[in-house]
Amino acid sequence: MTSSIEHYSVIIVGGGQSGLTMSYFLQQVNLSHLVLEKHSIFHGWKHERWDAFTLVTPNWQCDLPGLPYDGDDPRGFMTGKQTIAWLERFAAKVQAPVKEGVTVNLVTQDDQGKYHITTTDGDYTADQVVVCSGGYHVPVIPRMAERIPASVQQLHSAEYKNAKQLPDGGVLVVGSGQSGAQIAEDLHLQGKKVFLATGNAPRVARFYRGKDVVEWLDDMGYYKMSVKEHSLGENVRNNTNHYVTGRDGGRDIDLRQFALEGMELFGQMTDFDGQNLLFKANLADNLQKADNTFNNINSRIDAWIESQGITTDEGPSQYEPVWQVPLERTQLDLAESGITSIVWCIGFRPDFGWLDAPVFNGQGHPKHDRGVTSQPGLYFLGLPWLHTWGSGRFSGVKQDAEYLCGIIDQYGQQAIEKDELAASA
Ligand SMILES: Cc1cc2nc3c(=O)[nH]c(=O)nc-3n(C[C@H](O)[C@H](O)[C@H](O)COP(=O)(O)OP(=O)(O)OC[C@H]3O[C@@H](n4cnc5c(N)ncnc54)[C@H](O)[C@@H]3O)c2cc1C
């Protein structure tokens, strides 16, 4: 517990890759700062990923300042353990001033522009605050879960580790986004009887015409495109990530193939009526839309290859469904199904309730311009599409932190001069 109130130029809330990347750049400009982390650094990577987790993005996109990926498999996909080991090396390099086990409970700004930060470790003040608390705060579990019998074990994707933590019997995975599709695959590969309630998440090929699709899209400039240049503008932040995997060197996730292998697929889950799980009759639509996105991306790559006169061993191709929905099933008797556990994979909602500042939209998402808010001295870093596709990932946080550091340094120097002037007055 701090005895007297410590003042810093910058307080960073959150000790993940964003918080430590921000510290890296603030050290370059000698601005005093402190990182406050409620758990331990990289908590999400250490405690909220399943055992067989593997990065979805290729290793060459792991680009943190001072320690870009330096292993011998740049086109591979690090496992969860390898990712943590790399992040620990990054932390050792950055030597950020971090206080772990400290929760920020309230941040306010006074009339003089100074920030007051109330924590479980006492109070701090700062000239500026950078919010690096991620975007995955509150696991989303719908109210219908309360009506599911207690005999059915329920958990959120953030708690899922492996099939052994679940009781014998079938498992229902709700949601086919990036985590839901990978967790359904993991359970399927471990021999569990999987029931999957799909959503409208798109999918993408892992490899196409000899290269990782991520590499083609990078060649096409997709990852340099800013949110301002994107055809959807800021609405791109509402997009669901494409399902694919980096597991075992990387491959597609084809839910139709899993159905051929015995996985039971359904449309979007809507309710539980006390006996039956209820689903929308939109399974065929969900699968078709996901495949359309898969094929559209490949077609854009075809056009790029042609426009650049690139020769590839493989020619253009389109995915042909290996399984068709025989019948849309809109209800499933829970007792008869043999389902004994449910994994909710429908995401997280943001919770910035501790930040008392007029910078949020109706959905609770911060309004900012590349992380800079309308409130002087308040910034965000590490949010999906904060500036580019990579902003919420390992590939773009460095550029965003460096950009913010330029602004923070200028503001910081002015704040210091103001204080010195006040002190000398
Ligand atoms: C399942 C999953 C898979 C992903 N896969 C990839 C991938 O393959 N490739 C990729 O590049 N990216 C991936 N990401 C995206 C991204 O890299 C991660 O979300 C990453 O953890 C974001 O880092 P961050 O530092 O911005 O936020 P976080 O890692 O979420 O860190 C925020 C920190 O803030 C702390 N915090 C929050 N509130 C407070 C408070 N009030 N007081 C103090 N501390 C607080 C939290 O404890 C947390 O440690 C994935 C994300 C998820 C969820």
The residue from 344, 370, 387 where one domain ends is 344
Tell which atom from ligand 1 comes closest to the C-alpha of 119. Answer: 42
Q: Across all residues in the chain, what is the average pLDDT?
A: 96
Query: How many angstroms separate the CA atoms of 378 and 359, rounded?
Result: 9
CA-based nearest residue to 201, from 224, 178, 226, 233? 178
pTM score, whole prediction: 0.96
**Least confident interval from 2-6, 174-178, 378-382, 390-394:** 2-6
One domain for residues 276 and 324: yes
354 lines ligand 1 (CB under 6 A): yes
**Torsion angles phi and psi, residue 152, rounded to 5:** -95, 120
Structure confidence by residue, pLDDT tens digits, 236-262: 999 999 999 999 999 999 999 999 999
182 lines ligand 1 (CB under 6 A): no
58 lines ligand 1 (CB under 6 A): no
Structure confidence by residue, pLDDT tens digits, 13-60: 999 999 999 999 999 999 999 999 999 999 999 999 999 999 999 999
**Looking at residue 375, which CATH number applies to its domain?**
3.50.50.60
Structure confidence by residue, pLDDT tens digits, 339-355: 999 999 999 999 999 99
One domain for residues 161 and 293: yes
Please report, for residues 162, 272, 359, the alpha-carbon distance to residue 148 in angstroms, rounded to integers and kept in the order given. Answer: 22, 7, 38
166 lines ligand 1 (CB under 6 A): no
382 lines ligand 1 (CB under 6 A): yes
Q: Is 308 helix (H, G, I), strand (E, B) or coil?
A: helix
Structure confidence by residue, pLDDT tens digits, 124-139: 999 999 999 999 999 9
To which residue do tokens 């910034």 refer? 379
179 lines ligand 1 (CB under 6 A): yes
Structural domain includes residue 1: no
The residue from 311, 344, 377 where one domain ends is 344
One domain for residues 213 and 246: yes
What's the domain count of the chain? 2
Query: Is the pLDDT score of 2 beyond 60?
Result: no
Query: Is the pLDDT score of 206 beyond 60?
Result: yes
Structural domain includes residue 125: yes
Q: Is 75 helix (H, G, I), strand (E, B) or coil?
A: coil
pLDDT score, position 414 = 84
One domain for residues 162 and 178: yes
- Element of type H or E holding 106: strand 104-109
pLDDT score, position 420 = 83
One domain for residues 335 and 312: yes
Collect contacts of 298-303 with beta carbons under 8 A, ≥24 apart: 298/205, 298/208, 298/209, 298/213, 300/220, 301/208, 301/209, 301/213, 301/216, 301/217, 301/220, 302/209
Q: Which amino acid, residue 381? A: L
State which of 22, 38, 106 you would mutate to test the pocket of ligand 1, scoring each by most atoms of that ligand within 8 A of its C-beta.
38
Structural domain includes residue 307: yes
Structural domain includes residue 315: yes
Structure confidence by residue, pLDDT tens digits, 79-122: 999 999 999 999 999 999 999 999 999 999 999 999 999 999 99
Residues 29, 30, 34, 40, CA torsion sign: positive
Residues with Cβ < 8 Å from 16, sequence gap 6 or more? 37, 41, 42, 43, 44, 45, 132, 134, 382
Ligand 1 mean position, distance from CA 320 (Å):
36
Structural domain includes residue 296: yes
Please report, for residues 243, 256, 323, 330, 382, the alpha-carbon distance to residue 326 in angstroms, rounded to integers and kept in the order given. Answer: 23, 11, 9, 13, 43
- Tell me which of 425 and 11 has the higher pLDDT: 11
Q: Which amino acid, residue 134? A: G
Ligand 1 mean position, distance from CA 330 (Å):
35
- Whole-number CA gyration radius for the chain: 23
One domain for residues 121 and 169: no
Query: How many angstroms separate the CA atoms of 31 and 96, rounded?
Result: 12
366 lines ligand 1 (CB under 6 A): no
pLDDT score, position 17 = 98
Q: Is 196 helix (H, G, I), strand (E, B) or coil?
A: strand
Give CA torsion, residues 129, 133, 135, 136, to 10 deg: -160
The residue from 316, 344, 372 where one domain ends is 344
One domain for residues 129 and 249: no
Structural domain includes residue 384: yes
CB atoms within 10 A of CB 231: 7
Average pLDDT on 266-276 reads: 98
One domain for residues 320 and 189: yes
* Band of pLDDT at residue 389, cut at 50, 70 and 90: very high
391 lines ligand 1 (CB under 6 A): no
Q: Determine which residue's CA is closest to atom 31 belonging to ligand 1.
A: 16
pLDDT score, position 1 = 53
Structural domain includes residue 169: yes
132 lines ligand 1 (CB under 6 A): yes
One domain for residues 322 and 408: no
One domain for residues 187 and 299: yes
- Element of type H or E holding 155: strand 153-156
One domain for residues 338 and 354: no
Structural domain boundaries enclosing 105: 6-137+350-424
β-strands 211-212, 276-279 pairing: unpaired
Structural domain includes residue 113: yes
Ligand 1 mean position, distance from CA 97 (Å):
19
β-strands 348-349, 138-139 pairing: antiparallel
Structure confidence by residue, pLDDT tens digits, 305-327: 999 999 999 999 999 999 998 88
Please report, for residues 22, 55, 303, the alpha-carbon distance to residue 230 in angstroms, rounded to integers and kept in the order given. Answer: 26, 25, 19
One domain for residues 112 and 256: no
Query: Is the pLDDT score of 211 beyond 80?
Result: yes
pLDDT score, position 3 = 57
